[in-house]
Amino acid sequence: MTEKWSPNSWRVKKAKHIPHYQNEEELNDVLYKIANYPPLVFAGEARMLQNKLAEVANGKAFLLQGGDCAESFSDFHPDNIRDSFKVILQMSVVLTFGATCPIVKVGRIAGQFAKPRSQDIEKINDIELESYKGDIINGIEFNETSRKANPQRLFQAYNQSAATLNLLRAFSQGGFANLHKIHQWNLSFVEHDKAEKFKQISKRIDECLAFMNACGINDKNVRQLYETDFFTSHEALLLPYEEALTRVDSTTGKWYDVSAHMLWVGDRTRQVDGAHIEFVKGVGNPIGIKVGPSINIEE
């Protein structure tokens, strides 16, 4: 008989790379509060991405996903968010022109705070401490206090994700993603010596935009030239946090993890009978999986 899925059914499975918290009561209190916080994304947005990814799978669109290996609390700044978003926009314009198809833009941002580590313990000289596992779990400074898994960090991760998403929505819908503006950024880029091979592409894009404008197709009357759809993603690694942000969609009755539009399971946690696969199998978000050389045909 198939076991019924629930947001916490992963807890009866073998869970790798989940940190040990010394104060379980404090952790549960934090998770309870986060479970009552507003969603970071909406189920309808996740379904929109799912539909766009179906177009990618059918060869009618192209997926561009990019971002930091891991976000940090110390590097949190609007300029860094803007620059990451800007690079993805610049890449998407060139890809759209070259591939002649829509580009689905997904950022590895607004939630990529946890890191799986090959070793639980880090040793420097004669001192052994917990490995750094991402800012949502512990600190990178090599001292006992910093390396303890701290439940309070979940609050900061949530708040930083919310602020990042707020800025990304403003950028994507408020004119920052204007196609003409992005093209001007690319024109500046191709002035560098190492960008010589892109000059011809940039010139052709310039000609196309001029032709479209002459035909009356411009950012004043076509939404797609003024704004863009942008989605977020991160590895679903810290399952207690993901569970706290998993809600029932009122329109469909399905479960969605509202911490991000798209989630993925890493190469270290993709065991078919493991906790991470158990969790993601029940949510309606688009799901990715990292496949490394260790995978076998049966898997």
Q: Is the pLDDT of residue 16 over 80?
A: yes
In this predicted structure, which of 38-47, 74-83, 85-94 has the lowest mean pLDDT? 85-94
What is the share, in percent, of the chain residues with pLDDT greater than 90? 69
When pLDDT is cut at 50, 70 and 90, the band that residue 100 belongs to is: confident
Segment 59-68 shows an average pLDDT of: 95
Contacts of 295 (CB under 8 A, 6+ apart): 267, 270
Q: Name the pLDDT band for 95 (thresholds 50, 70, 90).
A: confident
165 pLDDT more than 90: yes
Percent of the chain topping pLDDT 70: 82
**Kind plus residue range of the DSSP H or E element containing 34:** helix 24-35
CB 261 within 8 A of CB 286: yes
CA 66 – CA 253 distance, rounded (Å): 31
Q: Identify the three-state secondary structure at position 180.
A: helix
Residue 291 pLDDT class (50, 70, 90 cuts) = confident
Tell me the Cα Rg of the chain: 21
CB atoms within 10 A of CB 234: 26
Letter for the amino acid at 192?
H
pLDDT tens, residue by residue, 110-150: 999 999 998 999 999 999 999 999 999 999 999 999 999 99
Cα separation of 290 and 264, whole Å? 7
Give the integer Cα–Cα distance in Å for 99 and 186.
17
> 220-266: per-residue pLDDT in tens?
655 665 578 999 999 999 999 999 999 999 999 999 999 999 999 99
Q: What integer pLDDT is reported at residue 1 of this predicted model?
A: 45
Mean pLDDT lowest among 4-18, 39-53, 95-109: 95-109
Which tens digits make up the pLDDT trace of 176-231?
A: 766 666 666 655 655 666 666 666 677 676 766 665 666 665 666 556 655 789 99
Question: Do residues 161 and 111 lie in contact, with contact meaning Cβ atoms separated by under 8 Å?
Answer: yes
Question: Which positions ≥6 away from 219 have C-beta within 8 Å?
Answer: 178, 179, 180, 225, 226
pLDDT of residue 48: 98
Once rounded to an integer, what is the mean pLDDT over residues 282-299?
90
Q: Residue 174: which pLDDT band, with cuts at 50, 70 and 90?
A: confident
> Residues 99, 62: contact at Cβ < 8 Å?
yes
Q: Give, to the nearest 10 degrees, the angle between helix 78-99 and helix 199-214.
A: 80
In sequence order, what E strands does the chain have?
62-67, 103-108, 121-124, 127-130, 230-235, 246-248, 255-257, 262-265, 287-289
CA distance linking residue 239 with residue 108, whole number of Å: 18
Closest CA to 137 of 237, 65, 37, 206: 237
- Helix or strand (DSSP H, E) at 146: helix 144-147
Cβ-contact 81, 109 below 8 angstroms: yes
Q: Is the model's pTM score more than 0.75? A: yes
The single residue listed with the structure tokens 């006992």 is: 144
